Structure formats: C-alpha cells, structure tokens
Amino acid sequence: MLGNKKFLRGLGRYLKIMEREGKKMNAPVYAFEDDSRETPFEILIYTMLSARTKDETTVGAARRLFARFKGAKEIADADVKEIEQLIKPVGFYRIKAKHLKRLCAMLIQKYNNNVPHTLHGLTSLPGVGIKTAHIVLARAFGHNVIGVDTHVHRISNRLGLVRTKTPEQTSRILNLEIPKKYKNGLNRIFVGYGQAVCKPTAPKCNVCPIRNVCPRIDVKHS
C-alpha cells in the first residue's frame, strides 16, 4: 500500500510542480526532448542507452548516434565498432552497440521498421527489459504504465510512497496503486526531478518546492 497520504491527496498538483522545476532547471531528460522529434524509435534507443549511465552521458551519446544515422536500417548496416565509438562512454557500450545493431535488424525484419507497442514485442528485442519496455510504452505510445528506474525508485522511497529495496518491488506497487491518469507521465517527471533537484547525493532539499510534504526518508544531509 502506498504511504504519504498528504502527497497522494495533492498528487496531480505536486507532479505539475515537479515537472515545472525539472524543465526550469534544464534536466537532461527534457534536453533530449527539446532537440529531437522523439519518435518511438528515438525513445527506445535513448532509453536503452540510459541504463547504468549518467544522464548527461546518455544525452550526448544519443545526439551523436542520431546525427550519424537516420534510422534503423542505417544502424543495422553499420559497423559495430563505429556504433561503439559513437555511444562511448555509456555504460557497457560494447554490449549495447551489439544490441543496437541486432535490435535494428530485428525491427526491419520482424516489425516492418516499426517499434512494437506491446510489452511482449518490446521485450523480445535484444537488450530491452521490462523497465525499458514500460518507459517506451508510456512515453512513445501513451500507455498507462510506470517505468521504474533508479530515479523513480529513489524518489518514491524518499517521499515515503513505498518502502522497497529494489526498483522491481517499487514498480509492482506503483503500477498497482497509482491512479491510471497519472501513470503515463510519472516516470519522466520523477526522472527530471531526480536529475535537477532530488539528486542521488546532496539533494537540494533547501530549494525543493514540495519539501513540506516530503519526509526525506534516508536523506542524511540536505
């Protein structure tokens, strides 16, 4: 069951505040959105690259990749070494380069160069797990589902919405109990807020506009 009833009672209002602050402080998740068309393909690739990678690094890698290649076919036909150099230094860039090449080939061969819009279809792609699939379903296709990455997991626990050990546990609770109308945008809002304000270390609690409803659980310094 979700905690922090005060935050939940004003959930819509607080999410708007968090989104406004993330955009005002140029959170990387919005920076990528600003200079791209954000097609389902771009969202899929960006989300794949972001795993275990700093947000600023992901943005740079995605920009270089899309400046060089204009679609799935060009990436599928590219030399994997060139892909590696373009996305370096994202985490596990050699593995991700191989996944990207295979994924793009699969999109062309199996999905007629379209990104699948089901959980089963997305997770059938190389390098795409449930977290990535949920984010793509929400951002690219408007599905009411929450992708839970480290930002969403951290902020949900700091706010006292959940008391969980893993993003997987957080995902189960949030997707079960958050009202449907808020699910689609929650990942991006929490990610942007986590990048700009509620950071992993040294969160900016002193300037946080929702600090009056945040118990700051496990925050040692603020």
Domain count, the chain: 2
Q: Which of 43-57, 106-120, 146-160, 177-191 has the lowest mean pLDDT?
A: 43-57
> Residue 126 belongs to a domain with what CATH number?
1.10.340.30
Same domain, 89 and 119: yes
How confident is the model at residue 78, as a pLDDT? 98
Residues 193 and 215 in one domain: yes
Q: What is the CATH number of the domain that holds 200?
A: 1.10.1670.10
Residues 139 and 30 both lie in one domain: yes
The whole-number pLDDT of residue 123 equals 97
Q: Which residue intervals of the chain are DSSP H helices? A: 5-9, 11-24, 28-34, 40-50, 55-68, 72-77, 80-87, 93-111, 119-123, 130-141, 150-158, 167-177, 180-196
Do both 119 and 154 map to the same domain?
no
Query: What range defines the domain where residue 125 resides?
Result: 26-143
Segment 113-133, tens digit of pLDDT: 999 999 999 999 999 999 999
The 3 state secondary structure assigned to 172-218 is HHHHHHCCHHHHHHHHHHHHHHHHHCCCCCCCCHHHCCCHHHCCCCC
Domain boundary among 143, 160, 178: 143
Let me know whether 37 and 125 are in one domain: yes
Same domain, 180 and 81: no
- Pair (134, 74) in one structural domain: yes
Q: Same structural domain for residues 103 and 207?
A: no
| Chosen domain end from 111, 127, 143 | 143
The arithmetic mean of pLDDT across residues 140-155, rounded, is 95
Does 36 score more than 90 pLDDT?
no
pTM of the entire structure?
A: 0.87
What mean pLDDT comes out for the span 189-198? Answer: 96
Whether residue 43 is found in the same domain as residue 129: yes
Is the pLDDT confidence value at 11 over 80? Answer: yes
Tell me the average pLDDT of the chain.
94
Give the residue from 21, 9, 63 showing the smallest Cα distance to 190. Answer: 21
Do 103 and 202 sit in the same domain of this protein?
no
Q: Please tell me the predicted confidence (pLDDT) of residue 221.
A: 66
Based on the fold, state whether residues 35 and 110 are members of the same structural domain: yes
pLDDT at 222 over 60: no
Q: Does residue 37 carry a pLDDT above 80?
A: no
Domain final residue pick, 143, 168, 195: 143
Is the pLDDT assigned to residue 51 strictly greater than 60?
yes
- Residue 176's alpha-carbon distances to 35, 88, 99, 180, in angstroms, are 34, 37, 31, 9
Asked if residue 139 and residue 42 are part of one domain, the reply reads yes
